[in-house]
Amino acid sequence: MKFYSFRYGPFVGLCNALLIILLSGASTLRADPKTIVAFGDSLTQGFGLPVDAGFVPQMGAWLVAQGASVRVVNAGVSGDTTAGGLARLDWTLAEPADLVIVNLGSNDMLRGLDPNLAYENLKQIMDKLEAKNMSTLLIGHLGPLNYGAGYKADYDGAFEKLAASYDTVFYPFFFKMLMASDGVTPNLQLYFPDDGMHPNAAGVQAVVDDMVAYDLSALQH
């Protein structure tokens, strides 16, 4: 199952319905504990946040509060690129996982690295996870306008091509709930007060609140 659109309307209703259905089966999740590996960079690791305020602890706390028996493993490394993630994937996943959240690529963009190389690295990561028969939730990112239209198109398209090529649940834009009213620029004052790149605890909570339906879908995938 793939979720592509991140607009409001019917899609939100679909996610809410899915959430209700999945949580109504919480007894199944309790009886069969799940391991989720959050594999990414500083956005996953929780850069600059208290221990309990990062992406992984907030996601784990939300799922447990809904009755799911899960263990969420923080496999985020600050500064990691898609190449770095690929290099450490095998030993990171030495033990099997029920779901791997793949959230890499933002540092490739910040360094101006070739989007095609990022695509190839992510493709190899997805190939390895598919070979291990692990369910995946792929997190997308959007490139900046100041790198030029060509770079942005290639960067944005890399995630879309991967989502279309693999049996994965796709969350199209990590920051989609943290944008200003124009939908283009991030809400810096509310969610990025420190460095303009890493969300604060409130921002992470907004991301988690929106992403959990995708997590639950991927766990049932």
Residue 117's CATH number? 3.40.50.1110
Residue 24 neighbours by CB distance under 10 Å: 10
Cβ–Cβ < 8 Å for 153, 189: no
| Tokens, residue 126 | 């997805």
In the chain, the amino acid numbered 164 is: A
Residue 181 among the catalytic residues? no
Residue 145, domain member (yes or no): yes
Residue 209 among the catalytic residues? no
Range of the domain at 208: 10-219
**Helices then strands, each counted (H, E), the chain:** 10, 5
Q: How many domains does the chain have?
A: 1
Identified catalytic residue from 41, 42, 135, 217: 42
Residue 165 among the catalytic residues? no
Residue 5, domain member (yes or no): no
Task: Give pLDDT tens digits along the chain (221 positions).
Answer: 333 333 334 444 444 444 444 444 444 444 568 999 999 999 999 999 999 999 999 999 999 998 889 999 999 999 999 999 999 999 999 988 999 999 999 999 999 999 999 999 999 999 999 999 999 999 999 998 899 999 999 999 999 999 999 999 999 999 999 999 888 889 999 999 999 899 999 999 999 999 999 998 998 87
Please, which contacts does 32-35 make with residues 24 or more away whose CB atoms are closer than 8 Å? Answer: 32/69, 33/69, 33/70, 33/71, 34/68, 34/69, 34/70, 34/71, 34/98, 34/99, 34/219, 35/70, 35/71, 35/73, 35/95, 35/96, 35/97, 35/98, 35/99
Identified catalytic residue from 41, 80, 156, 198: 198
Residue 1, domain member (yes or no): no
Q: pLDDT for 149-173, tens place per residue?
A: 999 999 999 999 999 999 999 999 9
pTM of the model: 0.86
Residue 3, domain member (yes or no): no
CA pair distance 58, 52, nearest whole angstrom: 7
CA pair distance 30, 139, nearest whole angstrom: 26
Tell me the pairing of strands 70-76 and 99-103.
Answer: unpaired
Residue 193, domain member (yes or no): yes
Residue 79, domain member (yes or no): yes
